[in-house]
Amino acid sequence: MQIELNGENIMTNYDIECKVVKVIDETVYCCRRCDYFIFGKKTPKGMCARAFAAVYPTIAAMQLTKIPILSNDGHIYRTCPSKNVVYQLNYRRLK
């Protein structure tokens, strides 16, 4: 079964962009606002392991199913386990 977005197969035509949209405590450094990580066929370089563990289940769901958990603005948001960083997850069209 192929899962589609805009009539295209998600796994072959889209990566998932995971962008840092909010950092609560700037003194705790693991990433900065506007940093982003791309999830495709490989794991992203430089992402905190705890944050990866928090966002990966949602990313896998985005890649493998049609998930109706988008927020009102059309994005999905996840927070790292420390509650210090908020990530925004989006589909990113491959070129």
pLDDT at 82: 86
Residue 17 sits in which domain range?
4-90
Q: Does residue 31 form part of some domain?
A: yes
Q: How many domains does the chain have?
A: 1
pTM: 0.77
pLDDT tens-digit series, residues 10-25: 666 778 899 999 998 8
Q: Does residue 95 form part of some domain?
A: no
Q: Does residue 64 form part of some domain?
A: yes
Residue pair 34/95 in contact (Cβ under 8 Å)? The answer is no
Q: What is the CA radius of gyration of the chain?
A: 13
**Dist CA 68 CA 82 (whole Å):** 26
Residue pair 6/65 in contact (Cβ under 8 Å)? The answer is no
Q: How many helices (H) and strands (E) does the chain have?
A: 2, 6
pLDDT tens-digit series, residues 34-90: 899 999 888 888 888 888 999 999 888 887 776 656 666 778 899 988 888 999 998
DSSP state of 50: H
46 Rama sector, left if φ>0, alpha if ψ -120 to 50, beta otherwise:
left
Q: Does residue 29 form part of some domain?
A: yes
In the numeric block, the tokens 């009102």 are attached to 72
Q: Does residue 36 form part of some domain?
A: yes
Residue type, 80: C
